[in-house]
Structure formats: structure tokens, C-alpha cells
Structure 1
């Protein structure tokens, strides 16, 4: 085992990838309580790492003072005074490569994540696919620590106790006539960064209509921004037992609300990982992407995933992130029937 005292862990985006880092750090801090961790990431994810022993947070303002090469140099000038023994680059993009280069004259160990790009290209190419499950991102993070001399076993991970309901969340629940003792809460996050990963809203409305009729179920719809807010309002208008969360409470309180859910229905998007890091079951719907690429929510089996008809759409997955769509595959998620989604939800509520 190495003799490191302070490790800088770098992951600047995206929110789902940062959320996947949480159970890895929880396992690390339990295994090596004498090692200090500083997480370098975007300011809004600071709540992810609060109350985590031996973990501090440094906010990178990549759109402000830390933007561009000069900004990264300013960031380096600040970070070098922390006297890190090692850097764990969990991102390995141009910005973090530049940051690492400034530390190259210091006596510290630096390890970057292996993203498995070659295997992911083989999985997503349209012809001659190598269709097999790849290493999950959580394990890729753990592999970085192992290369630093600190192996961890993610199977030993234990979730912390669920946070009590905050005052703001309690007020939100009261406004929507939700009693946690009487009602089962299901979150639904119908959006993703790319349309190729978003279940058609007309089908999602069928799912919501059916679930809303189940006894003692309350549905909470998650998303972000004005466009999604308008879509959600139109989708759930007139549906009892379905409530909009978008813009109603701050992000930190939203995490507290997610922690109270029994289950989250999500696309291959951040909300699935937010739920998983809070020990909430998820049912995920996949379109142009596939769980084999390694982005399954933490501790969730393949059976929790719903994917399009691969006989009808054999070139899937076409992308790791959802930014590549095969012509004629635009409606592939319509092969996931609403009754299939409802059945999977009810199965996971048992």
C-alpha cells in the first residue's frame, strides 16, 4: 500500500458521472480512513460530498475565473498550496490533462482513468459489433485508486443512513398532500440531454396515467429548465397523484426529496445516478445507448433496464452518450411499450 496522505480527485462533469463517484469515495474513506481526499468539481455538486469523512471539496469555476488555459493555470496556482501527494484524474479530458501538466515537476503520483474508448467504439459501431458488457464506470474509478496503491472492493460498500426529511421538503410534501406514512413515492425523470435517450412523452403520459391509478402511489416528475417545466405541466395536467418538482425546491433539497422515493424511473441520465447514490431503486429506459457501455446505476442489475427491440434495431447501441443516431432509428424507444414500463415499476415495488 502507498503512503499517501492527501489525494486530489478530479471530475468536472457531467452530473451523472460525478454522482457515480460518490459510492466509490464512500468505500475508499471506509477502507482508508487515514487518507484525506479533496474533490475538484463544479460548485453545484458540493452537496454530494457533504458529511463524507475525510473528504473536502474545491469548486472549479470552469466558466469563470478557471476558464481556458489561463484559468486552469490560476486553478493550479491555488491547488499547489494544498501539497497533494497524488492526483486521481477521473475525467481525463483536455482541461484535466492541462491541469496535470502543471503538476509534472512536483513529486506526486498522477493516475488517469482508463475510459475503455476502444471497447466502447467496438460496442457502438454499426457493423461487426463486439456486443458484450464493459467494465462499469464505478469500477473504472476504483481502478484509478488501485493504481495509486489503494485497492478498494465496491462489494463492501455500505450506504449511509438515509437523511431525514428536511423542512423545505416536508413543506413541499404537505403542499401536495403527500404523507410518507401512507403514500409510496415514485420519481419519474422523463428527460435526457439527447432526444435519442428520451422516452416519447406521449408514451410516458400513458405510463403516468396508469401508475397514478394505483392505490397509495404518488408520482413526482423531475427535470430542469423552462422548456421541460412547460412539457411536464402539459403532460400531467388533470392527472391526480402526479406533481411537478421542476423549479419548486433548490437542488440540495431535491436530493433530499429523491432520498425519500421508493423508486425512480429514469432515462440513461443523471437522475438514475442521483437516485442510486442515495440508495433508491431505479428503472432505466435506454434508447441509442445501452447499459453494456458501463453506465448502469450503482448496484443495479441489467434486469432493471428496459431497452428497445434489438431484433428490429440491430445497430444499437449507436453511441455511448446518445449523440449519434442511426437513420431510421429515431423512434426506437417506441418499441418499449408503456405497459412494459408499468409492469417493471410494479415488479420493483414488491
Structure 2
């Protein structure tokens, strides 16, 4: 069976799609999985053995309509799973003649573009985003999401880190990454809180790294200049494939609901996510999924009600986490 899944949004969304892809390949022997996603998320897919083919959404939809259809048709997909609901994707699956087209009954355009409909309304669901994906697999004979979803990420293909970055991690200290921004996709812990946390992290025990995109580097520049000299600024310095490798080689990461938080959980390092209680942004829906992943969720809708001391106490628990 050759299956196409669609997930044309952010990095974290693509990370949370990988367990479904890995499950498909394990549950349906001989199956192949392709993902239609945005180009900037390709390094996430390339790092995983759960996906066989990456299809660039932006490249496909830059084609004239007939060429789009012919391009997708040439793959001879048996099924398409619309993990994200967009009319252009739904029309593409139908126009390409994909035999089984799975969508959600809550989207009226799926009534005419899909022939397998699943009841699913994400915004009102208490289920985790990664678990919700598995509902779309039911019309193809799939079951419920497995308990240990992190076993299906299949992140195995890590890019080589340049010496200047790999050398940073060669220390007897605990290498901890703080990722303050979210590209506007989630609530963010105030920078003052991150500063308080840095002050609480003993520099004799911890080496602290700040990560973020080039755009975020500009946003953080004045704050970065206030940090102690032992803090390493990596904002804007690591392309995504190298960021994934750096995260994998580090010991832990603290962030809000961001792509790097999900990447850290997926690579198996200690991960702490910071979440508000309000739906649909709460940890039950978007929390990190991994062997060493945990979160703090507020009792209010204010993320800054989480104190730096609370975060430090969670970090101290990391020493007790084992592979068992």
C-alpha cells in the first residue's frame, strides 16, 4: 500500500506526524509512505526512516493545475490521509484519482472530495494531536494509537555537525538548550523568566545554549546582550538539519510549545515543555511525546505564572530518568 499524508504547516506538526508514518510502515508490511509538506520542514522528514518520499507542497502548487494532478497521479498512491484540512489538498487528491481519500466529516468540502469520512473536530478534542492522526487511519484498517508513540519517530539520520558546534558539547557539564521563541505559533514564557532560570542554573554544572532562527536572533539581540558570558548564543547560526543534530547531542531542552521542543522529545533527550491550561493550546493536545519528555502546565491562562524555580525543580528530576 502506498499512502500519502498531508501536513503542510509547522515543524512541530510534522514531527508529530512521524509516529503515524512509522506505525503505517510497521503495521502494513511492504507499505510506502509519502508526506506532502512545506519545504522548510524537509530536514525533519529526512532525519526519519518513517517516510519514504518528501513532496514539496510549495513546488507542487506552483505548477499549473494539470501538471499538479499529473505529478501526484504518477506516484499511484492507494490512499491519501488529510491530516490537515485544506480545500486545495482535498481537490488535489480527488483530481489525481487516489482511490481511498480520507478526510474529516466536519469539513463540508470533504463530503465531495473524500470517500472515507471520519468524525474529528480537533479544536474541541482533548486527545493529543499525534493520537488524533490515528483516527484517519481507521478506514484503512489501522487501530488506535500505540502507547509508546515515541518508538515510531524513527529519527536515525542526523546531519554532521561542523566542528565548531560539536566541540561545544564536548564538556563534562550538563548541556541544556533554552529555546525562548515560537515564531508566533504559541504562548511564550517571558524572557525575564528565562533570565531568572539561567541565574538559577549553576554554571559549574550546566552549560546553557540559546537557540532560535535568524529572525528570532534579531528579536532577541538586546536580551542576549544581558546574559552571562558562559551562555552560548546559537540563534541564527544553525540550519534546521544541524539544529536537529545539536538537539540530539545535547542533554536537555526547555521551551514552550515549539518545533524544537517536539524535536527534542523525538530525539529522546530530556525535554520540558511549558504550557497554558487553556484549550486548544494545553499540554494534553500539544505536549512533548518522548521517553524523557515532561511538561509544566499553568493553573491560569498566563504562561508567566510558571516560575523559574518550578522549572529548575523539574530539571533536577532529569538526573533520575533512565532508559528503563
Q: Deviations over 1:78-120 (max 9, x none)?
A: 11111111111111123322323424xx361111255524625
Of the candidates 3, 7, 11, which is equivalent to residue 7 of structure 2? Answer: 11
Q: Is the aligned partner of 1:119 residue 2:124?
A: yes
Do structure 1's residue 192 and structure 2's residue 182 form an aligned pair? Answer: yes
Which residue pairs with 1:304 in the alignment?
294
- TM-score computed with the length of structure 1 as normaliser: 0.76
Question: Which one of 144, 160, 163 corresponds to residue 166 of structure 1?
Answer: 160
- The answer to whether the 8 Å contact 1:189/1:264 transfers is yes
Once the 2 structures are TM-superposed, how far is the Cα of residue 255 of structure 1 from its aligned partner? 0.6
Query: CA 1:25 to 1:233, structure 2 compared with 1: closer, same or farther past 3 Å?
Result: farther
Residue 54 of structure 1: CA displacement?
Answer: 6.3
Query: Matches of 1:281 and 1:137 in 2, distance apart?
Result: 21
How far apart, CA to CA, are the structure 2 residues paired with 1:11 and 1:221?
28
Displacement, 1:276? 1.7
- Aligned-partner SS, 2:137: helix
Residue 73 of structure 1 and its aligned partner are, at CA, apart by: 5.2
Confirm whether residue 57 of structure 1 aligns to residue 54 of structure 2.
yes
Verify: 1:79 aligned to 2:72, yes or no.
yes
Cα RMSD, aligned residues only: 2.9
Distance 2:229 2:257 in 1: 27
| Map of 1:286 onto structure 2 | 275
- 1:269 equivalent among 242, 258, 261: 258
**5+ residue gaps, structure 2:** 105-118
Q: CA deviation at 1:237?
A: 4.0
Give the SS at the match of 1:294.
helix
- Say yes or no: does 1:140 pair with 2:135: no
Q: Which residue of 2 aligns with 1:206?
A: 196
SS at match of 1:47: helix
Residue 198 of structure 1: CA displacement? 0.7
Contact 2:102 2:136 in 1 (8 A): yes
Structure 1: gaps spanning 5 or more residues: 121-133, 311-315, 317-331
Q: State the alpha-carbon separation in 2 of the partners of residues 195 and 253 from structure 1.
A: 22
C-alpha distance in 2 between matches for 1:166 and 1:155: 32
Provide the aligned length of Structure 1 versus Structure 2. Answer: 301
Contact 1:163–1:259 (8 Å) recurs in 2:
no
Whether the 8 Å contact between 1:166 and 1:256 is mirrored in structure 2 is yes
Over 3 Å counting, the alpha-carbon distance change for 1:277 and 1:111 in structure 2 is same
1:333 maps to what in 2? 303
Partner Cα distance (1:58, 1:185) in 2: 35
What is the aligned partner in structure 1 of residue 101 from structure 2?
A: 110
The separation in 2 between residues aligned to 1:78 and 1:94, in whole angstroms, is 18
TM-score normalised per structure 2: 0.81
